[in-house]
Chains A and B, each alone.
Chain A
Amino acid sequence: MTARMADFHTSWIEAPKLERLMDLENGRMSRLVFQHGGLYEQELERIFARCWLFVAHDSQIPKAGDYITTYMGQDNVIIVRQKDGSVKGFLNSCPHRGNKVCFADAGNARQFICNYHGWSFAIDGRLKGMHASEAFDSTGFDPAGHGLHPVAQIDSYRGLIFATLDPHAPPLAEYLGDMRYYLDAVFDMDGEGTEFVGGCVKSVIRCNWKLAAENFVGDALHAGWTHDSGARAMVGEGVGELHKNPQQSYQVNFNGHGWEFNQDIIGNCASLGDKELVKYLYALQPHVAGRLDEFRSRMIGSISSCTLFPNTSFLPGQNTFRTWHPRGPQEIEVHIWTFVNKSAPPDIKERWRKGSMLTFSPSGVFEMDDGENWEYATRTNEGYLTRQQDLYIGLGGNTRVYDTGLPGNVHQGQVNEANQRAFYQRWLDLMGSASWAEVPQRDVPAEASV
C-alpha cells in the first residue's frame, strides 16, 4: 500500500477508556464487548489482523497446488501448498479490481484466474499474465508487484497451520508458548500426528464470537447444566458433577489461550456413546505416558476443552476442531472438522467422524444446546438498558496454584472462570495496544517447553 493511502484509518478507543470495560480482579466485565460496533471494527484490526489464526491442517493440502479457502477475521484467504512443500497464504481478492479469485472451498489448482478481467496468478501468488496483455504492455505495465497480497507470516505446529496478517507478530512458537506442552497430549500422542477426516461442516450462529471462544477456553461449568439432556440422550446418564472433585482437574492458560481438563482419560470420548473409541484410548494411554508423561497421557480424551486465542477451539476425545469466524458483532460462521490420529485404524477414524457429527455438528445434541445460549447471551444486549449492566466472571478467584510444575498459569479445579478472565485480559491487552511492541508481556514461555 502506498504511504498516502495507509495513513487513512479510523481513530480507535485507546487503553484508558477500554479498561473501563473490564474489572477482572473483582470478577466483572461489561456487556458492551458483545454488542458495540466500534469495538468490533477495532477487533478486526487489533485481534484478527494481528494474532496467529488457524488456517488449515497439513492433511487438507498434501500435494503441490492443493488449496483451501478460509477466513482470517473477515479477510478471505487462499492457503496453498507450494512445489517445494512449503505453504503460502494470500488474500482471496484480485489486486486489479478486487474481485474474489477463488470460489471453491478446497481443490487443486495450477493457477488462480480472476473471473473479471482474466488476471492469472501462480500458486506462489505471482501475476503470471493478463487477458489482453498487449494492451498492458503498451502502457508499460510491469506484472511484478501486482501479485496476490500475501499473509505476513505462516507456520505450523504439530500439523496445525497458522498465519498472521501482522509482520511484527512474534514467532508462532512464542505465540503458542506453554500451550505447546498441552497440545502435544492431543496432537502428538504417538509421534504420527493427526489428520482431518471428512469435510468441513459450516453453520451460522447469531452470537458474538467471544461467547463461543470463552466457552471452550474454560467453561466446564455449563456442561452439567446445559448438556444434561444431551448427555442422557447419548449415554443414558447426565454429566458428572465435576465441581465436586477439583483436586483432579485444572485450568491452565497462557497469553489468552486456555485449556480446562480433568485426568479421567476418556470422559469426553465416552459422551460419543461408542465403547470402541473408549477402548482405543485406554489402550493408547500407556504408550502416551511412556512417550510424554503420565499427566498428559490422562488428558488424551478427558473431560476438557481448549481455545487457542482468539478463535480456534477443540475438544479432546470428542475430536471436534473448529474456528469461530466473526461476521460483525452479532454473528459467527462456524467451520467444523473432525480430527483423528493418523495412525488410528480406518474403523476408529470412521467412528470418530460419526460420533463428532452426532454431538458437535450444527444438529449435534451438544452443539444445539450451546448455540441457543450464545445467541440469547448476545441478543439480550440489544436492549439499551440491558447492555449497560455488567456481568459476573469471578468464579475461582482464589484457585491459582504454583507448585504443580506444569507450564502456564495453573488453576486448581476445571469448574472455574480463571481461563475466561485470562482470555479477556489478553483481549484488553491487544485492543489497547497500537502495535505488538506495546502489548504487555504477561506470559513468557517456560524454558522446558521451548
Chain B
Amino acid sequence: MSQSVLEINKNDLSPEGVSRFESALGPIAVYELDGAYYATQDGCTHARASLSEGEILDGELIECPVHGGTFHIPSGRAVGFPCKTPLRTYKVSDAGATLRIDLECEAAAACVRGETHVHGA
C-alpha cells in the first residue's frame, strides 16, 4: 500500500462518531455521520487539542474539547469561535469492511483553504 493512503478497519471506529488514527502525516480524525465517512486533521487549528476527543454537534459539526470551537466536518470550514483556520480534509473511499483515506487529496466538499467563517463574532 502506498504511504499516501491510510486504510483502516471500520470495526476500529468509535461508536461516538469520531475516532483518531495515526498516519504518515500525523493524527487523523475519522468521522461517521449517518452512514457517510469523512476525515480531517485531528489537531485543532486554534490551539493544541485533539478533535477526536470532542463531540459531534448538529449532525455535522465537530466541537473542540478544549475551547468549544466548531468545524464543519465535510468541508473543514471553521464555524464557531475561536476557530478561524479551516481543517485539512482528506478524501475517504468506502471499501466495504475498510475505509481508504487519501492523504494527498482533499475531500470533495473541502472549503477553499484560508477561508475564515466565524459565527457570532
Contacts and interface: CB of A to CB of B under 8 A. Distances in A.
Interface stretch (B32-40, B64-72, B105-113): B64-72
B46 interface: yes
In the A-B complex, the 9 residue pairs with the closest CB atoms:
A129-B66, A133-B47, A133-B48, A120-B66, A128-B66, A129-B49, A129-B47, A129-B48, A120-B67
21 contacts: A110-B65, A110-B68, A111-B65, A111-B66, A111-B68, A113-B67, A113-B68, A118-B47, A118-B67, A118-B82, A128-B65, A128-B66, A129-B49, A129-B66, A129-B67, A130-B47, A131-B46, A131-B67, A132-B47, A133-B47, A134-B47
A137 interface: yes
A417 B65 CA distance: 55
A33 to B, nearest CB: 47
B68 A131 contact: no
Interface residues of B, number: 10
Interface string A358-371: 00000000000000
Contact of B48 (A111, A113, A118, A137): A137
A120 B82 CA distance: 13
Given A111-B66, A131-B82, A134-B47, 18 more contacts: A110-B65, A110-B68, A111-B65, A113-B67, A113-B68, A118-B47, A118-B67, A128-B49, A128-B66, A129-B47, A129-B48, A129-B66, A129-B67, A130-B47, A131-B47, A133-B47, A133-B48, A134-B48
B60 interface: no
Contacts of B66: 111, 120, 128-129
Interface in A105-159: 110-111, 113, 118, 120, 128-134, 137
A128 B46 CA distance: 13
A409 B67 CA distance: 54
Interface of B: 46-49, 55, 65-68, 82
Nearest to B55: A110
Contacts of A137: 48
Contacts of B67: 113, 118, 120, 129, 131
Nearest to A143: B48
Contacts of B47: 118, 129-134
Interface hub of A110, A129, A131 (most chain B Cβ within 10 A): A129
Interface residues of A, number: 13
A114 to B, nearest CB: 10
A130 to B, nearest CB: 6
Nearest to B46: A131
Contacts of B49: 128-129
Pick the most buried of B46, B65, B66: most chain A CB atoms within 10 A of its CB.
B66
Nearest to A122: B65
Nearest to B47: A133
B66 to A, nearest CB: 4
A110 B64 CA distance: 11
A131 B68 CA distance: 11
Contacts of A132: 47
A137 B49 CA distance: 13
A211 to B, nearest CB: 44
A129 B48 CA distance: 6
A128 B68 CA distance: 12
Contacts of B68: 110-111, 113
Contacts of A111: 65-66, 68
Contacts of B55: 110
B44 to A, nearest CB: 8
Nearest to B63: A110
B58 to A, nearest CB: 16
Contacts of B48: 129, 133-134, 137
B48 to A, nearest CB: 4
Looking at B47, B49, B55, B68, which has the most chain A CB atoms within 10 Å of its CB? B47
Contacts of A118: 47, 67, 82
Contacts of B82: 118, 131
A132 B44 CA distance: 12
Interface string A152-193: 000000000000000000000000000000000000000000
Nearest to B44: A129
Contacts of A120: 66-67
A106 B119 CA distance: 26
Most chain A beta-carbon contacts within 10 A, residue among B46, B48, B49: B48
A134 B47 CA distance: 7
B51 to A, nearest CB: 12
Contacts of A130: 47
